[in-house]
Amino acid sequence: MNVASTTDRLRALSGEHSAHNYHPLPIVIAEAEGAWVTDVEGRRYLDMLAAYSAVNFGHRNPRLVAAAQRQLERVTLVSRAFDHDVFGPFAAELAELCGKDMVLPMNSGAEAVETALKTARKWGYEVKGVPPGRANIVTFEGNFHGRTTTIVSFSTDPDAKDSYGPYTPGFRTVPYGDVEALRAAVDEHTVGVLIEPIQGEAGVNVPPSGFLTAVRELCTAAGALMLADEIQSGLGRTGTTFAVEHEGVVPDVYILGKALGGGIMPVSAVVADRDVLGVFKPGQHGSTFGGNPLACAIGREVVAMLRTGEFQERSRTLGAHMHGRLGALSSDLVRDVRGRGLWAGIELHGPARPVSERLMGLGVLAKETHATTIRLAPPLVIDETDLDWALDRLEIALKD
């Protein structure tokens, strides 16, 4: 008699009782530490995805776990009806890391993007003087900023957008990397340009050299806010604290999330100067869990870890090594390799799902995106030996 494995039984439960909004690899993880995870059958795998950059500092990073445990023993939630003793320090330290004045904390990345959109519109009406109801925000093809109704309204991905209308108006979408199209889209009623400095979900698309500088210059000339969605690209992923730094660009608004929560809980934030975030008055925007004590304690430790530059340097050095090896791949399956730091998109000539599954069979976890691209984003704590081990297996998977 065949007895179903623990993996099969747990996957059957998920399949029966959860909505099928994801297509996960056939693995059920039970434990994790650093760059490695272990499934319910006791098999170990090297994590080359890091929860889409949410686990930049590794699974169960000791410093972050200790910070969370200390806070768990004190207070975890008071809502924003009261202040708590971790909130002010977190806001001040994150603002300093970004070189800005103020922080508006939220929870998920999508909430932070929604907050940034509301900020830009409110700023546009109350500071720039745009006539009521006329504000527009420019976005880019291939974008991925979340899955709320407003955000999918300007998505160009049918899977993310179709069947969710009617859609929120007020957005103009232009090709990513096209300066002239952006110039044509911006007018006197443009209040913001929302951009991922590197598009993650689209396949780790790096913009043409000089494009971020052009976005900054166009925003300045038009009196519009440059809104940098650094939820995936920020906090060390590309070899700098923020991906915009590769062109020396300073946006008006940073949108942060994922790694800000240390892989322990959702923590996000919008960070800007006082003349931008100062448009909010009590009662005009909020979140019960945003800026809660546990989130702030973890976020403070993340900021402290980034302050040393250690993780940015690891991403820069190991990323150069990884891209050197990826650039030397000899496989008829590979069409293109893109990325920066410890972040890469390997675009294939055919479907990427079979390669993801072969990699899993070889002990490496990565995931396809947009059907034909394998995305790699290992935790920044990975060591070079483990990274090479994974890349060796990638070469094998691409030859099968």
Active site amino acids: 144, 229, 258
> Any idea which residue has 């002990």 for tokens?
363
Q: What distance in Å separates the CA atoms of residue 152 and residue 165, rounded to the nearest whole number?
A: 9
Q: What distance in Å separates the CA atoms of residue 296 and residue 84, rounded to the nearest whole number?
A: 10
Listed in sequence order, the DSSP H helices in 43-154 are: 50-53, 62-72, 87-98, 109-123, 149-153
Burial 63-98 (b: 16+ CB within 10 A, else e): ebbebbeebeeeebeeebeeebebbeebbebbbebb
Burial 17-45 (b: 16+ CB within 10 A, else e): eeeeeeeebeebeeebebbbbebbeeeeb
The DSSP string of 293-349 is: HHHHHHHHHHHHHHHTSHHHHHHHHHHHHHHHHHHT---TTEEEEEESSS-EEEEES
Q: Which two tokens stand for residue 311?
A: 């993780």
* CA nearest to 314, candidates 289, 335, 342: 342
Residue 389 CA, chain-centre distance (Å), reads 26
300, 93 in Cβ contact below 8 A?
A: yes
Q: What distance in Å separates the CA atoms of residue 364 and residue 392, rounded to the nearest whole number?
A: 10
Q: Is the peptide bond before 166 cis (omega within 30 degrees of 0)?
A: yes
